[in-house]
Amino acid sequence: MSDNWVQVMEEGAASYDLPAGLTEADLKQMYEGMIMIRAYDERALKLQRSGRIGFCVTSFGEEATQVGTAHALRPDDWVFPAYRQYGVPLYRGASMTKMAAHLFGNADDSAKGRQMPAHYTFDEHRFVSASSVIGSQIIHAVGCAMAIKYRKSDEVAVTYFGDGASSANDFHSSLNFAGVYKPPVLFFLVNNQYAISLPVEKQTGISELYKKAEGYGVHGIRVDGNDVIAVYKATREAAQRARDGKGATLLELFTYRVGAHSSSDDPTRYREKDETAEWKEKDPIERMKRYLQQLNIWTEEYEAEVWEQCRTKLSVAITKAEQIGDPPWESAFENVYAEMPSALEAQKQELLDRESGLELNNEGEFPL
> What pTM does this model have?
0.93
Q: What span, in angstroms and rounded, lies between the C-alpha atoms of 33 and 162?
A: 22
Q: Digits of tens for pLDDT over the chain (368 positions)?
A: 556 899 999 876 667 788 888 999 999 999 999 999 999 999 999 999 999 999 999 999 999 999 999 999 999 999 999 999 999 999 999 999 999 999 999 999 998 888 888 999 999 999 999 988 999 999 999 999 999 999 999 999 999 999 999 999 999 999 999 999 999 999 999 999 999 999 999 999 999 999 999 999 999 999 999 999 999 999 999 999 999 999 999 999 999 999 999 999 999 999 999 999 999 999 999 999 999 999 999 999 999 999 999 999 999 999 999 999 999 888 889 888 999 999 999 999 998 888 776 555 555 443 44
Domain end among 322, 338, 357:
322
Domain containing residue 187: CATH number: 3.40.50.970
Let me know whether 245 and 347 are in one domain.
no
Q: Which residues pair with 190 in a beta bridge?
A: 162, 253
Q: Is 257 one of the catalytic residues?
A: yes
Let me know whether 315 and 358 are in one domain.
no
Calculate the alpha carbon distances from 282 to 9, 226, 285, 287, 352 in Å: 11, 7, 9, 7, 55
**Given 261, 271, 287, 291, which residue is catalytic?**
261
Per-residue model confidence (pLDDT) at position 166: 97
Let me know whether 148 and 289 are in one domain.
yes
| Count of domains for the chain | 2
Let me know whether 318 and 345 are in one domain.
no
Let me know whether 316 and 333 are in one domain.
no
CA-wise closest residue to 159 among 217, 241, 77: 77
76: left (phi over 0), alpha (psi -120 to 50) or beta: alpha
Q: Under a CB-based contact definition with an 8 Å cutoff, are residues 149 and 183 in contact?
A: yes
CA-wise closest residue to 242 among 178, 159, 185: 185
Q: Is 150 exposed, middle or buried, given 0-12, 13-18 or 19+ CB atoms closer than 10 A? A: exposed
**Given 222, 257, 271, 287, which residue is catalytic?**
257
Let me know whether 251 and 345 are in one domain.
no
Strands annotated E in the chain: 5-6, 78-80, 157-162, 185-191, 194-195, 198-199, 219-224, 249-254
What residue type is 274 in one-letter code? Answer: D
Let me know whether 91 and 210 are in one domain.
yes
Let me know whether 308 and 362 are in one domain.
no
Let me know whether 231 and 349 are in one domain.
no
Let me know whether 278 and 189 are in one domain.
yes
Q: Is 71 one of the catalytic residues?
A: no
**Given 52, 270, 337, 354, which residue is catalytic?**
270
Q: Is 150 one of the catalytic residues?
A: no
Let me know whether 64 and 79 are in one domain.
yes
Let me know whether 208 and 288 are in one domain.
yes
DSSP string, 5-73: EE-SS-TT-S---PPTT--HHHHHHHHHHHHHHHHHHHHHHHHHHTTSSS-----TT-HHHHHHHHHHS
All residues at 6 or more sequence positions from 181 whose CB lies less than 8 Å from its CB, including other chains: 146, 149
- Which residues constitute the domain of residue 238? 5-322
